[in-house]
């Protein structure tokens, strides 16, 4: 069924927020290795390992998700302490990393082309993004994304985040569509794909040639695409 409404995730779906992560951590660790009296690469490895463990822990992510700046500083402190390094530097490292990473964020080349075409074709559009209100609003202030949507739902403002069905139900009500009339596009199999499907919405997983659909995935998408051109093709555009 051709949808009347299409919902999009923001981070790593429309906005490339992960592409510069590795480079940002390397630059941050190189800047602080001297003060900490350690090897920059060893510091990078220790922090990245701790951050990876954090993101694998669904309960921890749920607890910290609307306080990601605090979560990053906390995990840096854990990594420093575990390696007998001065954890009092954690906040400064965290702030430097955000400066590095935010400067590397960029829109995917196909984002605006797709959104503008969908609007011109009459689709109702909603942006559903998890995370702190301040952080997500900062991104929306830097990149002119919000103006292309009929409704923007930010976890830190709405009070609930994906995969909670209330997020999708609110978006449906806001655009005046039934679940069977909507598609959702996102990169997170748990939050985007599983959440949309439980709300009765067709779920399209976008991997951006970075992610792999594994056998033990938390959800199996209705459609898999690498780039938004494939979404446009599926809609006959």
pLDDT at 212: 86
Kindly state the percentage of the chain with pLDDT values over 70. Answer: 100
Kindly state the percentage of the chain with pLDDT values over 90. Answer: 89
Smallest CA-to-CA distance from 8 within 103, 125, 96, 100 is with 125
Q: Is the pLDDT of residue 56 over 90?
A: no
Min mean pLDDT across 10-24, 57-71, 130-144, 192-206 is at 57-71
Q: What is the DSSP string of 66-120?
A: T-HHHHHHHHHHHHHHHTT--GGGHHHHHHHHHHHHHHH-EE-TTHHHHHHHHHH
CA separation (Å) from 56 to 31, 81, 90? 27, 20, 21
Domain definitions of the chain by residue range: 5-17+106-234, 21-104
Q: Is the pLDDT of residue 171 over 80?
A: yes
CA distance 232 to 130: 25
How large is the average pLDDT for residues 15-26? 95
pLDDT at 104: 96
Instruction: Tell me the per-residue pLDDT of 80-133, one tens digit each, with 9 for 90 and over.
Output: 999 999 999 999 999 999 999 999 999 999 999 999 999 999 999 999 999 999
Q: Is the pLDDT of residue 1 over 80?
A: no
The verdict on domain 5-17+106-234 having CATH code 3.40.50.1000 is: yes
pTM, two decimals, is 0.92
The chain-wide mean pLDDT, for the chain, equals: 95
pLDDT at 65: 83
Min mean pLDDT across 19-33, 51-65, 138-152, 190-204 is at 51-65
**Tokens 């981070």 correspond to what residue?**
11
pLDDT at 86: 96
pLDDT at 211: 82
Architecture of the domain made up of 21-104: Orthogonal Bundle (1.10)
Structure token digits, residue 90? 């954690």
Confidence grade of residue 219 (pLDDT, cut at 50, 70, 90): very high
């Amino acid at each position: 069924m051709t949808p009347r409404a299409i919902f999009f995730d923001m981070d790593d779906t429309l906005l490339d927020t992960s592409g510069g992560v590795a480079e940002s951590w390397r630059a941050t660790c190189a800047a602080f290795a001297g003060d900490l009296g350690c090897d920059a690469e060893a510091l990078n490895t220790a922090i990245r390992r701790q951050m990876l463990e954090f993101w694998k822990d669904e309960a921890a992510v749920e607890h910290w998700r609307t306080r990601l700046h605090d979560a990053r500083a906390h995990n840096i402190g854990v990594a420093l302490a575990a390696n007998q390094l001065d954890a009092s530097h954690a906040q400064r490292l965290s702030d430097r990393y955000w400066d590095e990473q935010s400067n590397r964020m960029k829109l995917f080349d196909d984002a605006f082309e797709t959104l503008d075409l969908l609007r011109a074709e009459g689709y109702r559009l909603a942006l559903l993004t998890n995370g702190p209100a301040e952080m997500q609003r900062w991104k929306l202030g830097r990149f002119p994304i919000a103006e292309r949507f009929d409704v923007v739902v930010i976890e830190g403002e709405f009070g609930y985040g994906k995969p909670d069905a209330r997020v999708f139900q609110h978006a449906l009500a806001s655009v005046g569509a039934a679940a069977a009339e909507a598609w959702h596009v996102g990169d997170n199999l748990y939050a985007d794909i599983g959440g949309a499907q439980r709300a009765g919405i067709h779920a399209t997983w976008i991997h951006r040639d970075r992610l792999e659909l594994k056998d033990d995935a938390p959800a199996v998408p209705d459609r898999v695409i690498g780039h938004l051109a494939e979404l446009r093709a599926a809609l006959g555009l």
